[in-house]
Structure 1
Amino acid sequence: MSNPFAPPNESPHDLYNERTIIDGLFLGAIAYGIHLTLFIWCFYLLLQKKKSRSVYFLMLYVLLLFAMGNIGNGTNIKVGELTFVDNRNFPGGPNAFFATGGGPVGLTCNVIYIINSWFQDVFLLYRFWMFFARYGWYWTVLPNLVFLASFTLSLLLIIMLCVPGITLWSTISINLAIPYWAISIALNVIITTCIAIRVLYMRHQMRQARVGSGSEYVTYTSMTVESAALYTVNGLIFLVSYAVNSPIQNLALPVLGQSQSISPLLIILRVLQGRAWSSTT
């Protein structure tokens, strides 16, 4: 039986797309709550540490991640308000307004999350260096080149998004965004694979030396956290749905923005608790 109160002139697909937009706002808010919890936890532990240059650096890094997470979540919610409240009678309905990008507020949200991804990738590169620096600088060449490509494409994407009339769903934006996110995810996959191999190799060495099983260091949890696989999986879900223009992208994108901060904070938390892998591991 049809709903007599359903919005006129909107297909079931239109309604489904609008539902995913709203649901994405809630999922993004939940992810922000996780980010907030990790921020408080990490900052509290940092305050307990003896003050040093590295501690101050981590404080600044954590604060920057939290600031960008706040701006990203706040502007994302505001875009939802603009879509379903302020512009509810926009020609074509909420879907049509959402497709415009949300104006300056939506632009701010997208730009902040892109910049946030730089911070995450640089942190992962630093962790990669900690694992492999002892083997020579050339080990870091490929990850650095991949990051440089990702950074260049994302910078071009930001420039294009600032052009009036260009949104995240414009053809030129899609042509930049897909390779940008693909390369960014590839960077995470490369680092994930290398760190996982390193961890498994260290477990083998510990067993050979009969100094323990090493299981406390090489659980799947530690490998997942250390390699920031959370962002990789989330990024793949978004990338595929974005490439095929599926409404699922509306669910994945807000979470992706926050996971860019959650992944580094999980690693920092393990560092502060003395459970993270280091260059001496």
Structure 2
Amino acid sequence: MSNPNAPPGESPFDLYNERTIIDGLFLGAIAYGVHLTLFIWCFHILLQKKKSGGDYLLMVYVSLLFIMGNIGNGTNIKVGELTFVDDRNFPGGPGLFFATGAGPVGLTCNVIYIINTWFQDGLLLYRFWMFFARMGWYWVILPCLMFLASVALSLILIVMLCVPGITLWSTISINLAIPYWAISIALTVIITACITTRLLYMRYQMRRVMAGSGSEYISVTSMLVESAALYTVNGLIFLVSYAVNSPIQNLALPVLGQTQSIAPLLIILRVLQGRAWSSSSLAKFQTGTDVRFNNTSNTMFQSEDTGPTLTMKSKLTNGSSQSLKEKQSA
């Protein structure tokens, strides 16, 4: 039965598309709430702890993520207001107005979220380097090239979006945006696979030496957080729906703009809580020295020996113990 109060001249698909736009605003606001919570949590820990140079860098990093998240969420909500309130009688309906880019407000939202991707990918690239640099510098060549390609394409996309009449759904924008997001997501997927594989191998080493503590550092949760799987899944949903021009993209894009900040904040939070690998703890693990995890003096950019460590001892049948270094050299 048709709705007598339905807007005239709009098909069921048009109405469905407009519903996804509104629903996407709510989903984006929910994701922003998660972002806000993580920002306050991380910043509180950083304010309370004894700070090093790396901690000040983290404070700047999380603050920039939060500022961009605020601008992105605010402009996204404003786009919704323009679409369904100020310009509700736009020829072709709200859906068509939304597709035009919603003017400077929509442009600001898109540009902010694109720039946010650089920060998210940059942190993942650093974490990848942290896990694999000691295995050889050539490990980071491909991720670095992919990161540079993603930044280059996104810069061109930003320039094109600033041209009057060109929106995110213009043909030239689609031709730039799809490879840009594809490279960014592929970079995350590759880093996801590599870090997860590395963590599985490290868990195997820890279990082999009967490590009784530190299992949470190489747990399933650790793998998901360290690899930014949240962004990967969200990004794939958006990329596929954007490529086929499905209204599902209206649900995924506002959330994606926030998960770009949520994923790195989850990594930072685990590091600050002493529940994730820092550069110093990885160095000690890979060289076979004692590694002890704790909740003091943790920083992502730590290279000194004062960082989080995890002592790993293997119990032998005679009741004695053997360190990881001794067992590896045996």
Give TM-score, length-normalised by structure 2: 0.84
Q: Shift of residue 213 of structure 1?
A: 7.7
The two structures, once aligned, show a CA RMSD in angstroms of 1.0
Counterparts of 1:214 and 1:265, CA distance in 2: 21
Kindly provide the CA deviation profile for residues 144-203 of structure 1, in whole angstroms up to 9, marking residues without a partner as x.
001011111111100100000000000000000000000000000111011001101011
Question: Where does residue 185 of structure 1 map in the other structure?
Answer: 185
1:216 & 1:264 partners in 2: Cα distance? 19
Does the CA-based 8 Å contact 1:206-1:213 persist in structure 2?
Answer: no
> Corresponding residue for 2:194?
194
Instruction: Write out per-residue CA displacement over residues 33-77 of structure 1, whole angstroms, 9 at most, x where no aligned residue.
Output: 000000000000000111221110000000000000000000000
- 1:117 corresponds to 2:122: no
Q: Which residue of 1 aligns with 2:289?
A: none
- Say which SS state the counterpart of residue 19 (structure 2) adopts: helix
Number of equivalences? 281
1:143 aligned onto 2:143: yes
**Secondary structure of 2:224's partner?**
helix
Match of 1:203 in 2: 203
Aligned residue in 1 for 2:90: 90
Aligned mates of 2:29, 2:148 — CA distance in 1:
31
Does residue 131 of structure 2 align to residue 156 of structure 1?
no
Q: CA deviation at 1:219?
A: 1.6
Alignment of 1:1-281 (within 5 A): 1-212=1-212, 215-279=215-279, 280-281=281-282
8 Å Cα contact 1:150/1:183 also seen in 2:
yes
* 8 Å contact kept, 2:216–2:275: no
Task: State the Cα distance separating 1:216 from its structure 2 match.
Answer: 2.0
Is the 1:207–1:213 contact (alpha carbons within 8 Å) kept by the matching residues of 2?
no
**Could you say what secondary structure the match of 2:217 adopts?**
coil
Runs of 4+ in 1 over 4 A off after TM superposition: none
The amino acid of 2:84's aligned partner reads F
Which one has a larger percent helix, Structure 1 or Structure 2? Answer: 1
**Structure 2: which 5+ residue stretches go unaligned?**
283-330
Q: Per the alignment, in what secondary structure is the counterpart of residue 233 of structure 2? A: helix
Question: What's the offset of the Cα at 1:207?
Answer: 1.9
Secondary structure at 1:216's aligned position in 2? helix
Determine helix, strand or coil for the equivalent of 1:157. Answer: helix
CA distance, structure 1, for counterparts of residue 50 and residue 216 of structure 2? 26
Larger relative contact order, structure 1 or 2 (CA cutoff 8 Å, min sep 6):
1
Q: Percent identity?
A: 83
The letter for the 2-side match of 1:112 is I
- Give, as a single letter, the amino acid of the residue that structure 2 aligns with 1:86: D
Cα distance in 2 for residues equivalent to 1:187 and 1:40? 28
Is the 1:39–1:265 contact (alpha carbons within 8 Å) kept by the matching residues of 2?
A: yes
Decide which structure has the larger Cα Rg and report it: 2
Contact kept in structure 2, 1:203 and 1:213, CA below 8 Å: no
Q: In the alignment, which residue of structure 1 is the partner of 2:315?
A: none
The code of the aligned residue for 2:146 comes to: V
In the TM superposition, what is the alpha-carbon distance from 1:217 to its structure 2 partner? 2.0
Gaps of 5+ in 1: none
**Is the Cα–Cα contact under 8 Å of residues 207 and 214 in structure 1 kept in the other structure?**
no
- Tell me if structure 1 keeps the 8 A contact 2:234–2:252: yes
Structure 2 Cα separation of the partners of residues 245 and 2 of structure 1: 26
Q: CA deviation at 1:214?
A: 5.5
Deviation of the 1:132 alpha carbon: 1.1
Return the letter of the residue paired with 1:92.
G
How far, CA to CA, are the matches of 2:138 and 2:212 in structure 1? 32
Counterparts of 2:33 and 2:207, CA distance in 1: 40
Q: 1:95 to 1:253 in 2, by over 3 A?
A: same
Deviates more, 1:128-137 or 1:176-185: 128-137
